Amino acid sequence: MENNSYITTFLFTAYGDLGYMRNIYFTITIMVYLIIHLVNAIIILVIVCDKNLHEPMYIFICSLAVNGIYGSNAFYIKFMENILSANPSITRTGCFLQIYAIHTYGAFEFMILALMAYDRYVSICNPLLYNNIMTPSKVTSLLCFAYLYPICIFTIHISLTVRLPLCGYLIDKVYCDNWSVVKLSCVDISINNAFGFFLAAVLMVSPQMLTLYSYVRIISVSSKASKEARSKAAKTCLPHLITFINYSIATFFEILHQRFDANALPHDVRVFMSIDFLLLPPLLNPVIYGIKTKKIRKIIRNKIL
């Protein structure tokens, strides 16, 4: 396969020989997929239907749940199909669609988590001005930016990849990602590589810096407050902090797997590193907020359970 026009299908080599474990893996995967949809749908339903939860913090939690469903659909549907296939593969068009969906899912997650940190910062550091700052129109504008900015940036990113002539069709992962396809190119990929680092800076590092700044300010203000105020701030911020750390670590694993040679690691470890950011956040986020957020927990217990 030396001509770009002949490469219409990519083969995934990371699935290996599943053998008799194929049905077991499929059963576990579909159960996780259904649980993700169920718990995220409950969070969305509770927040949308209860007017008392139409506040910035809960709107951001709802957005996180919507993104969890979006990301899981981008990954799990094709993943489950390939588990049952003797030759795990994906069409060229399907590959680029999956790249776009998974990458925008990751960017949305970081942007929403950064907005949640900013919301907590305003709430704790400027409580008297909170309602004036976090107005419905501003929350809407922030969410529009959080979604539209990654969409625009990744449209350019994928366009740079689509134009590349490819000399290979084997992808050593269980799903399509941009860097794996770029590495199959027959030509110089310096522009793609540079733009990839730019993306990491604006869509990953920048939200992390905003989150870090928010928590530094929160800690600074809380340290001067009463014990009761510190306890309240900790309870309010802890679910978000757990979510943020979990997702940052998962994304860090994926970057390590993409950019550096991980062949020295066991095959199963490499596969888990590459999908951790797709598996855990959509599953854990609604559990964390459902358990740790008092209002949501109370409504779930009274109206659903």
| CATH class assigned to 4-304 | mainly alpha
**Residue 253 binned pLDDT confidence (cut-offs 50, 70, 90):** confident
* pLDDT band with cut points at 50, 70 and 90 for residue 302: confident
Least confident of 33-37, 132-136, 220-224: 220-224
Task: Give the mean model confidence (pLDDT) for residues 90-116.
Answer: 94
**Secondary structure letter of residue 185 according to DSSP:** B
Mean pLDDT of the chain, nearest integer: 86
Task: Reduce the DSSP state of residue 2 to 3 states and report it.
Answer: coil
Which residues, 6 or more positions from 16, have their beta carbon under 8 angstroms from its beta carbon? Answer: 267
CB 49 within 8 Å of CB 34: no
Residue 71, pLDDT above cutoff 60: yes
| Strands 89-91 and 9-12, bridge-based pairing | antiparallel
Q: Tokens at residue 85, please?
A: 């296939």
Single out the residue of 240, 290, 209, 286 nearest to residue 124, CA to CA.
240
Answer for the pair 289, 58: CB distance below 8 angstroms, yes or no.
no
Question: Residues 248, 203: contact at Cβ < 8 Å?
Answer: no
CB 233 within 8 A of CB 88: no
| 141 or 279, which is more confident | 141
Q: Rounded distance, CA 162 to CA 171, Å?
A: 16
What tokens were used for 92?
Answer: 């060229």
Which pLDDT does position 93 carry in this prediction?
A: 92
DSSP category for residue 186: S
Helix (H, G, I), strand (E, B) or coil at 9: strand
Q: Indicate the length of the chain as a whole number.
A: 305
Percent helix, strand, coil in the chain, to 5, is 80, 5, 15
Residue 292, phi-psi category: left (phi > 0), alpha (psi -120 to 50), beta (remainder): alpha
* Tokens coding 199: 């993306």
pLDDT, position 2: 44
pLDDT tens digits, residue range 221-248? 887 777 777 777 777 787 788 888 888 8
| 127, pLDDT greater than 90 | no
Closest by Cα among 41, 212, 60, 265 to 143:
60
The closest alpha carbon to 168, from 189, 186, 180, 184, belongs to: 184
Whether residue 95 contacts residue 188, with contact meaning beta carbons closer than 8 Å, is answered with no
- In this prediction, residue 257 carries a pLDDT of 66
Map tokens 């407050």 to a residue. 225
95 near 10, Cβ under 8 Å? Answer: yes
Structure tokens at 236: 């309010």
**Statement: residue 273 has pLDDT above 70:** yes
- For residue 44, pLDDT beyond 50: yes
Q: Residue 138 corresponds to which amino acid?
A: K
pLDDT per residue as tens digits for the range 170-209: 998 899 999 889 989 988 888 888 888 888 788 888 888 8
